[in-house]
Chains A and B, each alone.
Chain A
Amino acid sequence: MNFLLQLLNGLQIGSIYALVALGYTMVYGIALLINFAHGEIIMLGAYTTVFTIQLLLAQTDLPYFVAIIPTIVICTLIGIIIERLAYKPLRNSPRISNLITAIGVSLLLQNTMMKIFGAQARSVPSIFHAKPLDFFGAKISVTTVVTIAVTAVLTILLQLFIKKTKYGKAMTATSEDYGAAELVGISVDRTLTMTFAIGSALAGVASLLYVSAYPQAEPMMGSMLGIKAFTAAVVGGIGLIPGAVLGGLILGIVEALTRAFISSKLSDAIVFGLLILVLLIKPSGLLGEDRKEKV
């Protein structure tokens, strides 16, 4: 029974990894950029949730999960601003400059928040109040169920969006070739902005789900979360929506089971070890296709 609970725990954190990984994978797929600042968007989202609840919702009768709306709005806006100010001017620069810029943006956001709100963590009131569900005798928290369900729905919607809509197809086309996409009348600028916007909106959702599970917000919280989510995206096969979700879930489950049954100290080492193992066996990730350079 404990095993089943841990598995669900893993699915819950895995779902959050998956949502964050989706942002990484979409941005990477289209801009070939490891957006290290993506983790910081989660952090900003968490702060937005905290302040919305404390300053607004606590005074009203509205349920706390309404905080999702301002959280998504803020995350999306910040995502767009970062893309426009920091990444867009570097579109034709060496990849490493983009990477360094991403690190710079990430440091900037962390330290700005540190300056404004201090280094100490702010606690978040419990967001989903409902009683735990009874599942074959096991008590499962509503947060867990909501997290898994929301992730599943969003993933399906995202996949439909990319496969079925004009905008989604534009994203796929742009990720193949900027020049060719321009030629068929796709605005690369707008497509990139849209990609960042969607990724950041998903990060907004992830941040609310994250603080409902781990009720704290602090300036450095996004850093490790972001790196693990990126790891998840790579494990699944970067650039692929199903890959990000698969990678996220695997990572979450492995982490939860390691913490519960092996050692909580070693869990990070095992998670990263898994990444190395996967890449050594399948260099393009679990669902990725191997490409060989043309001679």
Chain B
Amino acid sequence: MSNHVLTCNNVGIRFGGLQAVQDFNLQIEDGELIGLIGPNGAGKTTVFNLITGVYEPTEGEILLAGTNIIGKMPHQIVRYGIARTFQNIRLFDHLSVLDNLKVAANKDMRYSIFSGMFRLGNFWREEDEIKDKAIEILDIFGMSKHANKLARSLPYGEQRKLEIARAMATDPKLLLLDEPAAGMNPTETDELMDTIMLIRNEFGITTLLIEHDMRLVLGICERLMVLNYGKVLAEGNPHDIVNDQSVIEAYLGKGE
């Protein structure tokens, strides 16, 4: 067994007549930071949905640290150690920032419905632990000052960060970020790049991200994968990729 965190072998999915993703192969090694890029509609988010169990692939296999995770429900896959964020932010709007993280930590909590109902000892113990853990994560993201605010009251950039923080609260081995910089201004993007690097360097979490912002992609990704029409078009180190003729054509169309 190698130290591959995630392996996709010939993964594909067909929606009716549309082959959304085809022959998708990917090996991610422990601690890598990989970017998945490609024109709109290339199937990038579909790849995320396949890995996280939202869609079931029509062909191929997906292995997480050697275990096949195909057919598992999304919430089970989180238990295997994959966490994600969404292109259009999906927070628990009317819950506090702290509670957003606590929800994500629920899978590691053990006290029973009965304990919660009658406020038994392990309720207090676990709730205290989880609160400390959540505050710790918020501290890392510089968000503890917002802990008791409603998620939806945060400014846009902070909401994006909160989504990543929430994903971190599930204790992932692999983090999937879907366009984390979308809609951010350059300052916010810089801050985000720092955060992503921090997650990788401090916690050694493997990260796969979809992004259109090339400054971010070139700034932090170690390896890039280009998707076009549901197929892998090119793969390799960022600087080779951006100079690859086929990639340029995919983005800009064929030159004369």
Contact = CB atoms under 8 A, between A and B. Distances in A.
Interface of A: 295
Contacts of B54: 295
Interface of B: 45, 49, 54, 86
Nearest to B178: A295
Among all A-B residue pairs, the 3 with the closest Cβ atoms? A295-B54, A295-B49, A295-B86
4 contacts: A295-B45, A295-B49, A295-B54, A295-B86
B91 to A, nearest CB: 15
B162 to A, nearest CB: 19
Contacts of B45: 295
Contacts, number: 4
Contacts of B86: 295
Nearest to B90: A295
Contacts of A295: 45, 49, 54, 86
Contacts of B49: 295
A295 B86 CA distance: 8
A262 B216 CA distance: 70
Nearest to B15: A292
Nearest to B74: A295
A227 B133 CA distance: 51
A295 B44 CA distance: 12
Nearest to A293: B54
A53 B45 CA distance: 65
A291 to B, nearest CB: 13
A295 B89 CA distance: 10
B170 to A, nearest CB: 17
A295 B54 CA distance: 8
A233 to B, nearest CB: 27
B68 to A, nearest CB: 22
A295 B45 CA distance: 8
B88 to A, nearest CB: 9
A58 B45 CA distance: 71
A139 B114 CA distance: 66
B153 to A, nearest CB: 19
Nearest to B54: A295
A101 B220 CA distance: 54
A293 to B, nearest CB: 10
Nearest to B86: A295
A246 to B, nearest CB: 25
